[in-house]
Amino acid sequence: MPNPHLAALRQPQTLQLLKGIRRGIEKESLRVAPDGTLAQTPHGAALGSALTHPLITTDFSEALLEFITPPEATPEAALEILDRIHRYTYGQIGDERLWVNSMPCRVGADGDIPVARYGSSHSGQMKTIYRLGLGLRYGRAMQTIAGIHYNFSLPDEFWSWLHEREGSSEDLGNFKTRRYFDLIRNFRRYYWLLLYLFGAAPAVCGSFVEGREHSLQPFGDGRTLHAPHATSLRMGDLGYNSDAQQSLIVCYNDLPSYLSTLCSAISRPYPDYHTLGVKDTDGHYQQLSTGLLQIENEFYSPIRPKNPAQMGETALSALDNRGVEYIEVRCLDLNPFAPLGIDAQQMRFLDGFLLHCLLAPSPKTDDADYRAVQENQNRIVYRGRDPELQLIYNGSEKKLTDWAGELLDAIAPLAELLDTAWGGDRYHGAVEAQRAKVKGAVPTPAAQMLAEMAARGQSFFAWASDKAEQHRNYFLERPLDTGEQEHFAALAAESLRQQKAVEDADTGSFEDFLGKYYAQYTFCQR
């Protein structure tokens, strides 16, 4: 079906609105020792406070760094900031490396994986206890899996134009929220394409799945396990899927339905977690609550609607209070062939893909549609590179390569619009690069990775270790100049001061703080 907005967007006065797109990157990377084992060192003071630093924090573990770029006008601008963060960090972590793959390897026993610490403030304690709960529920090893999150937003001028063009009588904020949910529903229909094109986790170390049921096959000498046609094992049952969350059906038809579904999962006790208890036998917190979800972030969705939460505010309250401000794509593997884990070409394709998701018709969904999305994800994870793979499509089935070709054909005109706005043909080139993968002319990252491992006779660990060393040298050979170094040092020092201020400002008990935090979820009962 032709996109109904293409002709209007081609007008010079509206075409420039597309230059207002902003994108940001959140990149996770494990710190590892020279021998490839998980680093046991704490998050260094030279990197600042993981609680308050605007660019450098940690995710689940003290060893799982997360780098954050602010919203930027071009892919290159975001990548330049991400590059500087890497160069500064490598100057502070000694002989440690950043693991360049999404799937970890030598992480050791669960108890040896250090959970991230955020200081003594109530908010800092809450972040740590949340992570303790994740480890208790799913195992700490699973939480060391890393990825790239891509934040995407359109400018208010674009929303005003679309609001007028569609003749909406809604408040502009409500219109923007509704249309972002249209984008999200289409994204969920089509994100299997991103797993196919950019999945880079077809293999794991045998130690990672030791003691777990799996269907993987030995690769090479058997120290590595893989699925021959896999794309992103990170997105399968070895990664972010869990039996508990499989029972959860989240509705993306509108904001109230979305909020209600997640609020219910947070407030409703889950029997297995209730049995474990909030505190251990010594009276120490081991999870925040006994709900199916401790907080909304525990729900492992490939995409999230977002509005920046204020200190102490829940993410769902931020959405309820101010609507959707941007979306966060969460299904992307680290690209081990790119030192930054992502490159400008991939970002340009994502821009076109997300524009298509917004502007194409997006019918509302039901429970059957939700389950179909889950099934397509499972098929892509394990069999995505099988040229004969069929996916669920409108209640029937369609060959992956046929459907992928149709999606690329629909994205291509949007890439042309973006090229016209910016000049050049880099958006067109990004789409054609993906078309070459679908046609089999060039390998996907997962296929390239397995081919290199086979050609070199390497295990996953040896191959990934080599890549980590190459990328370490890439950054160390380009140290920051004195001014940039001082800038990052000042950011770190200021973040430590801010953390101390948060700690000094705390009043009352942690239990009171936690009670007030969870009281915010009562808005869903209106």
Q: How far apart are CA 297 and CA 293, in angstroms?
A: 8
Percent of the chain predicted with pLDDT > 70: 98
Q: What is the pLDDT of residues 338-381, one digit of tens each?
A: 999 999 999 999 999 999 999 999 999 999 999 999 999 999 99
Which residues make Cβ contacts (< 8 Å) with residue 334, sequence separation at least 6?
A: 27, 28, 29, 100, 101, 102, 146, 147, 148, 200, 341, 342
pLDDT at residue 165 is higher than 60: yes
pLDDT band at 4 (very low <50, low <70, confident <90, very high): confident
Residues in the chain: 526
Q: Is the pLDDT of residue 132 over 90?
A: yes
pLDDT at 460: 96
Q: How confident is the model at residue 247 (pLDDT cuts 50, 70, 90)?
A: confident
Q: Specify the pLDDT at position 2.
A: 66
Averaged confidence pLDDT in the chain: 95
| 212 in Cβ contact with 243 (< 8 Å) | no
Q: Which residue ranges make up each domain of the chain? A: 6-525
- Determine contact, residues 503/119, Cβ cutoff 8 Å: yes
Residue 526's pLDDT is 55
Instruction: Please state whether the predicted TM-score (pTM) of the whole model is above 0.85.
Output: yes
Is 3.10.20.90 the CATH classification of the domain at 6-525?
A: no
What's residue 106's pLDDT? 87
Identify the DSSP state of 71: P
Percentage of the residues of the chain whose pLDDT score is greater than 90 = 88
pLDDT at 1: 59
Segment 300-329, tens digit of pLDDT: 999 999 999 988 899 999 999 999 999 999
Please check the confidence at residue 12 and state whether its pLDDT lies above 90. Answer: no
- CA quadruple 469, 54, 138, 391: dihedral sign: negative
Residue 130: band (very low, low, confident or very high) from pLDDT cuts 50, 70, 90: very high
Question: In this structure, are residues 312 and 126 in contact, taking their beta carbons and an 8 Å threshold?
Answer: no
pLDDT, residue 112, reads: 92
Is residue 248 scored above 90 in pLDDT? Answer: no
Q: How far apart are CA 107 and CA 35, in angstroms?
A: 11
pLDDT tens for each residue of 197-241: 999 999 999 888 887 888 899 998 889 999 999 999 999 988 766
Q: What is the mean pLDDT of residues 176-186?
A: 98
- Residue 55 CA to residue 69 CA, distance in Å, equals 6
Say what the pLDDT of residue 241 is.
63
b/e sequence 371-384, b meaning 16+ C-beta within 10 Å = ebbeebbebbbbbb
- In this predicted structure, the answer to whether residue 88 has a pLDDT above a threshold of 70 is yes
**Does position 95 have pLDDT exceeding 90, yes or no?**
yes
Q: pLDDT digit string (tens) for 493-525? A: 999 999 999 999 999 999 999 999 999 988 666
For residue 22, count CB atoms less than 10 angstroms from its CB and return exposed for 0-12, middle for 13-18, buried for 19 or more. Answer: middle
What pLDDT digit, counting tens, does each position of 390-439 carry? 999 998 999 999 999 999 999 999 999 999 999 999 999 999 999 999 99
Q: In 81-233, which ranges are E strands? A: 97-98, 148-153, 203-205, 217-219, 224-226
